Structure 1
Amino acid sequence: MKKLLSTLMVMACLVLAIPAQAQINFGIKAGLNVSKLHLSEDIVSKDNRAGFFIGPTADFTLPVLGLGIDGSILYNQFGVDSDTGTSTKKSIEIPINLKWNIGFSSLIGAYVAVGPQFGFNVGDRLFDDICEFKKSTTSFNVGAGLKLFSHLQVGANYNFALKDNVKIYDVEALTGFKQNTWQVSVAYLF
């Protein structure tokens, strides 16, 4: 009984000590995104569209396990072209990623991250009188990157839409398209 009680006490102390060693860092993230539109009709251009994103970020890490969570609130923008003009889609994106960190030394490390991203349209909803951007979108991120000097993160991720991002009102039918995006980012954590 004494051994069981001693083992349980050691385990309880370890469980309580892990959150005390956890690290939370705040910073700013910015980068470039390149979007590809996937649709069945030739109403808008399907070519790759470049844009940018910027916003605050937070990184929570459990150092013993290398697991953590990072989240950001990013202002995101990219252009959409059609026969009659160009529109800029503006949104607030909130990615929340489960992150696994691998430290090679105190100066350099790597990470892989996966998680959902929630987007909220903050720009014009109507484009070209036939397209309507949805108020909110949900997508999924897969990414990897490097941590340098404990403060700088350089990463790349692929973000793919789970549902249509835009409704297209055509004369014959209602269609939509998905927006999948490559992102390259730089984050500085204080």
Structure 2
Amino acid sequence: MKKVLSTLLLIVCCWLAIPAQAQIHFGLKGGIDVSKMTFSSDLLKGDNRTGFFIGPMLDFTVPVVGVGVDVAALYSQSGLKANDEFSESETLKSIEVPINLKWTIGLGSTLGVYLAAGPQFGFSLNDKLWDNIEAKKCAVSVNIGAGVKLVQHLQIGVNYNIGASKLANVIAEGFETNIRKNAWQVSLAYLF
């Protein structure tokens, strides 16, 4: 309980310390991702597959410092395919919540360049991957990216998403492997 109260107090103090000129923008973000599965065993190999994501986002920036936070709730469909035993394709449907810390360098009021990094929490909408593999309900990954802000409303970004936790754990006939997903993502966001 003390940790919860301490955390809430810290959040309130940070909120009060934010300058009055801080900018909060809501928007819509979408894009494509090219995902590749990795396995803890050499018996299976993952292929690259293309998917998409779309959803609302919130962009919060302190203008003078250029530091901000980008949060989104994205519906995502990623294509998954493993060679060998599971040669058929599967679509992983999930709700992804990236929370990225952004550092923006403004090149005037119409152009800015940013670097972003942070965790991403994925909540699977699939019960199973393929016919016999149960999907984990929650997965964590790490985003690293960069992008461009144009005319104060558009953002074009590229980031690499590194799977930090397992999507599934396969145990069958003396064979065991963990499945993780890494992805390259290209996004376009419009801020209101």
| TM range, smaller chain | 0.7 to 0.9
**Counterparts of 2:188 and 2:169 in 1: how far apart (Å)?**
32
Q: Give runs of aligned pairs for residues 168-187 of structure 1, distance below 5 A.
A: 168-187=170-189
**Counterparts of 1:125 and 1:21 in 2: how far apart (Å)?**
47
Offset at 1:126?
A: 4.1
The answer to whether the 8 Å contact 2:36/2:80 transfers is: no
The answer to whether the 8 Å contact 1:94/1:117 transfers is: yes
User: Larger Cα Rg: Structure 1 or Structure 2?
Assistant: 1
Q: What is the number of equivalent residue pairs in this alignment?
A: 174
Q: Give runs of aligned pairs for residues 1-190 of structure 1, distance below 5 A.
A: 19-39=19-39, 40-43=41-44, 46-81=46-81, 83=86, 85-129=88-132, 131-190=133-192
Offset at 1:123?
A: 2.4
Amino acid at match of 1:113: A
RMSD: 1.8
**Counterparts of 1:120 and 1:60 in 2: how far apart (Å)?**
24
Amino acid at match of 2:29: K
Amino acid at match of 2:19: P
Amino acid at match of 2:60: F
SS at match of 1:58: strand
Offset at 1:41?
A: 4.3
Amino acid at match of 1:124: D
The answer to whether the 8 Å contact 2:113/2:148 transfers is: yes
TM-score norm. by structure 2 comes to 0.84
**Residues 25, 84 of structure 1: alpha-carbon distance in 2 compared, 3 angstrom cutoff:** same
The answer to whether the 8 Å contact 2:37/2:180 transfers is: yes
Offset at 1:81?
A: 2.9
**Residues 133, 18 of structure 1: alpha-carbon distance in 2 compared, 3 angstrom cutoff:** closer
**Counterparts of 2:73 and 2:176 in 1: how far apart (Å)?**
32
SS at match of 1:19: coil
Amino acid at match of 1:74: L
**Counterparts of 2:142 and 2:131 in 1: how far apart (Å)?**
28
TM-score norm. by structure 1 comes to 0.85
**Kindly, what percent of the aligned residue pairs are identical?**
53
In structure 1, the gaps of 5 or more residues are 1-15
